[in-house]
A and B are shown apart, each in its own frame.
Chain A
Amino acid sequence: MRYLRAWLLRIKGLFLKDSRERDLAEEIESHLQMHIDDNIRAGMSPEEAKRVAVMKLGSVDATKEAYRDRSSIPLLESMVQDLRFTLRQLRKNPAFTVTSTVMVALGIGASVAIFAFVDAALIKPLPYQNPSHLIFVTETTPDIPRAALSYPDYLDWKSLNKTLASLDVYSQRGFVVSTSTGMERVLGARVSDGFFRTLGISPVIGRDFFAGEDLPEAPRTLILSYASWQKRFGGKQDMIGRPITLNETPYVVIGVLPQNFHFAPVENAEFWVTLHPAGSCDLRRSCHSLNGIARLKDRVSIDTALADLTRIAKDLENQYPDSNRNQGATVSPLSELIVGEVKPILLVLLGGAGLLLLIACVNVASLLLVRSETRRRELAVRRALGATTTRLIRQFVTEGLVIVVAGSAIGLVSSHWAMQILIRLIPSDMMGSMPYLDELGLNPRIVMFAGIVSLFAAVLFSLTPTLRLLSLELREGMAEGSRGSAGKVWRRVGSKLVVLELTTAMVLLVGAGLLGKSFYRLLQVGTGFEPEHLITMGVTAPRASYGEDEQALALGRQVVDRIKSLPGVTSVALTSTLPVTFNGNTQWIRFVGRDYSGEHNEVNQRNVTSDYFKALQAKLLRGRPILDSEDASKPGVVVINQTLATKYFPGEDPIGQRIGDTKLSPDSIKEIIGIVDDIREGPLDSEIWPAVYYAFNQAPDSDFAVVIRTAEAEQSVLPTLSGAIHDIDSRINVSNETTMTDRVNNSPTVYLRRSSTWLVAGFAGVALLLGVVGLYGVIAYSVSQRTREIGVRIALGAQRGTVYRLIMKEAGVLALAGILLGLGCSVLTASLMRKLLFGTPPWDVPTLASVAAVLVISALLASYLPARRAASVDPIQALRAE
């Protein structure tokens, strides 16, 4: 305690230096006076008295020094001195201070903001118990790497496996609920009874699903998401036991999920219900609609589980050759399912931010180097006056630390803002599939990351001038006229730093260029239709009133007619699934009149109305479109796409041929009446699959999507749609009214690519700027160092042109070195991000060449100004200046 108190007082002493020293001086003064009084009283003369008193006191300076050391902390005190000196120095040179602080803040801000996203998506563990044991389990087919499970397969896998502690399934499902504002479509999920137990999640209030609660005979129960509980029911405690009607079926609320729970594959599902398998799909072994999650048994690896499930799939294939032909198994860590798509992008962004940070730090380091160079004389004088090398180094370290601390503080605060801005830029549809970003914000891990990065910068900033100082010849510093060969060492080190900067800038520019080109290529991808002036929306009508085929057919016709009558609408059609959504909702087809050995000819199945291709402006290559009159009473007809025609009818005319299901059941047999040019059903970067367009009127449904072609601006039509549908029946739900262009632009593929391209381009732009400023700095400094030499050259008759060349050559060599090195590094980096490239090889020559050209031009610009200054040197002035 005593020592602690003493130390606290000493720290306090740091700040009370002046008053304390005055106090001591007074005390010593009074001491002397008393002693002199005594001495006089003892009979000494005043002079003698004073002499003796002073002698007896001893060295006042030594006392003061001892007192001073005692009263505060000497090391800290000199550090405070260093700090004051540094701040004074930095204030005197605001351009340097602001530039370097801003650069550090920029580098740290950018990398911390990106790291926060990486942390939220990739580092922070998923909010499940022991998430590393969780795996994603599905079937696989030769065409679809992750095909869904069918319910009977799921039951077999569950009972036959030996490697899984539990296996459960889920599927996303939209529900229509009646709210005060009408019918609302809400996201939900169907899960098997043990789903939450497999994840290791228990409801915060109420209970989990019982075992067996997912069977058809069990009562219908429902678990609410926390957000839904708060939003829809005001977080009322008495929710448990209350009824909710979803899709006209009554459910009873039995629980509420924890607040931090999320399960990205079903986005922000609000209502969680059990499977209750029923209907044509669930009980059929060939209808794949479920995805599996499983918990591995202890000490079981993913590979073992895969082998186990593959064995089961093989057995099932032998047992049910009809439905399970070529149906394998696939497993992957659950985290891969949840963040797999954004992982490569985030890593590329983190790499980009890291390179930006590097370039910013190198730039500041070289600025510090220039400063140490211009302060050579000051340093030499200080050392001659007795400053130790340690003390001089400490001065540099202090300077580096001050810049880093200021820069990091600003960077950390701005990274917080950057995160908020970035997250707001993500469209809400996308946020739904990335719920792990909800809790984005500064957390201890991120602050630690910022700390490590700052430490790295601090070490770099202290080390550069220190190494320089150690290599400095002091005598030279004192004696020399501060010019001439003095800059040689710096030019050597500094120029290396510039090459490093240019290389980094090149890597970033090439990365941005390749991503940009990939993005451009992606947008150039043919969709097979005209996305401009096209509106899409979803319509869900209550099954109680529209469940029957005739009712749904009548509704479909009503919807088309009603919307067609709106001003500005030219054509309207219905489809079961909108284009540029996904490859899926497939069907296995078989050709009438051909041998069949049970293979699965998997095709996209779409049910469309007569004007579908007209509304999309898709090109009908041959044959005719489906007619509105072709309903269930007429012979079945289909239109196929070009890919199907090429794949299954090479050298044959498909028109007039007939297709059916794998058993060729009479109802399934349809005649091919037309071939349409490929429409991209999946995301822009996906392949075109064979597709069959069935007649909606021959298999109508109360749940469909509408495509609307407008004459001019879609915006004038958009707001009228929902009202138009509600004119028909106010209980019909209308969802996602949007333009096709927005739909495509906000689709995950396009959005992720666009945002990463812009971010990397931003990094690259800043990096280019910093690199060019760095180059300018080196050349300008070199010119200022060589003024005398240049003066002499000009005096001796060198032409201005020669001087220009001299300086430009210096810059050219550096730029060339940077570009060559950058080329190599770029190709290496680009191969690492090959996954993100689309239609662009990592060594894409046009990109590399244009980036190199940009760098050359920037380098020329950066060196032109100093070169002009050099060429305009007045020899008389230059020589006299020394």
Chain B
Amino acid sequence: MANKTDIWQGTLALMILKTIETLGPLHGYGIARRIEQTSGDRLSLNYGTLYPSLLKLEQEGSIVSEWGVSENNRKAKFYKLTRAGRKQLARETKEWDQTTAILAKFLTPTEDEA
């Protein structure tokens, strides 16, 4: 259980960072919508779960937050990537690529196996 949550949290954090990197400073709602859209609506999350992750990233210094005004003139808290966040994103993207590559090799049957 705990492990699964950790993995999920880790992936969620990666998705959040990537989203902010792509779209620039963004509020929580925007990030949540973007993640759903990007996944082609295959990923459906309770938007509320996003906020603890955002807090964790902020505490770790990957992002900073600031109150601002949304495109529709609503007061909203905007999250912005820091330099440390960019580095973290780059590193975790690389790690993720490696992991998936290994797993892909692992899960795809090869010719040697016979």
| Chains A and B are bound partners | yes
The interface of chain A, by Cβ under 8 A from chain B, is 2-3, 5-6, 9-10, 23-24, 26-28, 30-31, 33-35, 37-38, 56-60, 62-63, 66-67, 69-71
Question: Within 8 Å of chain A (Cβ to Cβ): is B8?
Answer: no
Give the contacting residue for B48; candidates A2, A10, A62; CB below 8 A. A62
Give the contacting residue for B74; candidates A3, A6, A33, A71; CB below 8 A. A33
A2-B60, A6-B56, A63-B52 provided; 10 other pairs, C-beta below 8 A? Answer: A6-B61, A24-B51, A27-B77, A34-B29, A34-B76, A37-B74, A58-B46, A58-B49, A59-B46, A70-B52
Decide: A27 near B59, CB < 8 A? Known: A34-B29, A58-B46: no
When chains A and B are docked, how far (Å) is the Cα of A10 from the Cα of B74? 29
Q: Which residues of B contact A71 (CB under 8 A)?
A: 55, 59
B48–A60 contact, CB under 8 A?
Answer: yes
Report, as a range, how many residues of chain B touch the other chain. Answer: 20 to 34
Query: What's the least CB distance linking B87 to chain A, in Å?
Result: 11
Query: What's the least CB distance linking A34 to chain B, in Å?
Result: 5
A57–B47 contact, CB under 8 A?
Answer: yes
Give the contacting residue for B28; candidates A10, A27, A37; CB below 8 A. A27
CB within 8 Å of A: which of B15-65? 27-30, 33, 46-49, 51-52, 55-56, 59-62
When chains A and B are docked, how far (Å) is the Cα of A56 from the Cα of B49? 11
* Chain A binding surface SS class: helix
Q: Which residues of A contact B30 (CB under 8 A)?
A: 34
When chains A and B are docked, how far (Å) is the Cα of A70 from the Cα of B56? 7
The interface of chain B, by Cβ under 8 A from chain A, is 27-30, 33, 46-49, 51-52, 55-56, 59-62, 70, 72, 74-77, 84
When chains A and B are docked, how far (Å) is the Cα of A58 from the Cα of B55? 18
Query: What's the least CB distance linking A857 to chain B, in Å?
Result: 67
Q: Which residues of B contact A33 (CB under 8 A)?
A: 74
Query: What's the least CB distance linking A406 to chain B, in Å?
Result: 34
Give the contacting residue for B61; candidates A2, A31, A62, A69; CB below 8 A. A2
Chain A residue nearest to B58 (CB atoms) is: A9
Q: List 9 A-B contacts (CB under 8 A).
A: A2-B60, A3-B60, A23-B77, A27-B28, A30-B74, A34-B27, A63-B52, A70-B52, A71-B55
Q: Which residues of B contact A9 (CB under 8 A)?
A: 59
B51–A28 contact, CB under 8 A?
Answer: yes
When chains A and B are docked, how far (Å) is the Cα of A67 from the Cα of B48? 10
A63–B56 contact, CB under 8 A?
Answer: no
Most buried by B among A3, A27, A60: A27
Q: Which residues of A contact B72 (CB under 8 A)?
A: 34, 37
When chains A and B are docked, how far (Å) is the Cα of A70 from the Cα of B59? 9
Q: Which residues of B contact A66 (CB under 8 A)?
A: 49, 51-52
Query: What's the least CB distance linking A874 to chain B, in Å?
Result: 63
Q: Which residues of A contact B29 (CB under 8 A)?
A: 30-31, 34-35
Give the contacting residue for A30; candidates B60, B61, B75; CB below 8 A. B75
Decide: A10 near B59, CB < 8 A? Known: A27-B28, A31-B29, A34-B70: yes
Query: What's the least CB distance linking A41 to chain B, in Å?
Result: 9
B74–A34 contact, CB under 8 A?
Answer: yes
When chains A and B are docked, how far (Å) is the Cα of A10 from the Cα of B27? 22
When chains A and B are docked, how far (Å) is the Cα of A3 from the Cα of B56? 10
